[in-house]
Amino acid sequence: MTSDHHHHRQHHPIRPPPSSTYHPHNHHYYPHSSSSSASIKGCCCCLFLLFSFLALVFIAVILVILFAVKPKKPEFNLQQVGVQYINLAPTNPPSAASLSLAIRMLFTAKNDNKVGIKYEVSTFHIMYRGIPLGRGTVPGFYQPAHSVRQVQTTVTVDRVNLLQADAADLIKDVSLYDRVELRIMGDVRAKIRIVGLTSPAVQVSIDCTIAISPRKQSLSYKQCGFDGLQL
């Protein structure tokens, strides 16, 4: 009886219940993923703080240098104006006129700073009674500290046709008064260079009124003003 019962148990092995089945691929490690995301965010935050600190240090160094150097605005003056030629020819109808003109302008740039100045290209416009006639360009250049430099440009007006009223005024100025009044306007932009670093551009606006004598082919009057300093 006992042997039969033992033999019967050997033919029926014990199976684990279905609920205890092990599936190793169904497990997800969420804590590891969240820790990686947190470390990435921490690195980005550290880099941002590092760059912010370096930017503040850079700005502080620039401010200290500026206060030590005490930069001044550049001086850019119209020194001389020479009339190369001026010609006023009547057109058809006779009340109109064609103007040809060439004047040479000599500018003086003065740098009283302890550091050099880098000038950008400057353009100057010449006008008669508010009418644009032509323009001249001064190339950009670098000026060392405590130096004076002269630069020049020539404005050429080639047969500009004036309207009836303006031509009548110009003919009267030439024939009756021997005095043609012109206005020269332009902006000079410069940057101060300190130990290899360049400051923001400083702009000085120049506004000059000149009078030339067509008969003498010379300058008879000059007055210049500056609109001020702009950053």
pLDDT digits (tens, 9 = 90+) for 88-139: 777 776 667 788 888 898 999 998 888 888 899 999 999 998 888 888 899 9
> Taking a C-beta distance cutoff of 8 angstroms, is the pair 120, 137 a contact?
no
Domains and CATH numbers, the chain: 75-230 (2.60.40)
10 Å CB burial of residue 119 (0-12, 13-18, 19+) is: buried
Mean pLDDT of 139-164: 87
pTM attached to this predicted model? 0.64
> Taking a C-beta distance cutoff of 8 angstroms, is the pair 171, 88 a contact?
yes
Banded pLDDT at 197 (limits 50, 70, 90): low
Has residue 4 got a pLDDT over 60? no
- pLDDT score recorded for residue 149: 93
- pLDDT score recorded for residue 112: 86
Banded pLDDT at 231 (limits 50, 70, 90): very low
- pLDDT score recorded for residue 228: 46
Has residue 77 got a pLDDT over 80? yes
| Residue keyed to tokens 């002269």 | 150
- pLDDT score recorded for residue 157: 85
- pLDDT score recorded for residue 60: 64
Which residues make Cβ contacts (< 8 Å) with residue 69, sequence separation at least 6? Answer: 113, 114, 115, 194
Distance CA 173, CA 165 (A): 12
Highest-pLDDT range among 18-27, 51-60, 69-78, 155-164:
155-164
Q: How far is CA 82 from CA 28, 86, 214, 217, in A?
A: 88, 11, 12, 8
HSE-up of residue 167 (Cα within 13 Å, Cβ side): 20
Distance CA 15, CA 171 (A): 122
Banded pLDDT at 183 (limits 50, 70, 90): very high
* 162 or 25, which is more confident: 162
Average pLDDT over the chain, rounded to an integer: 76
Which residues make Cβ contacts (< 8 Å) with residue 140, sequence separation at least 6? Answer: 118, 119, 120, 121, 122
**Which of 70, 162, 172 lies closest to 115 in space, CA to CA?**
70
* 218 or 211, which is more confident: 211
- pLDDT score recorded for residue 64: 55
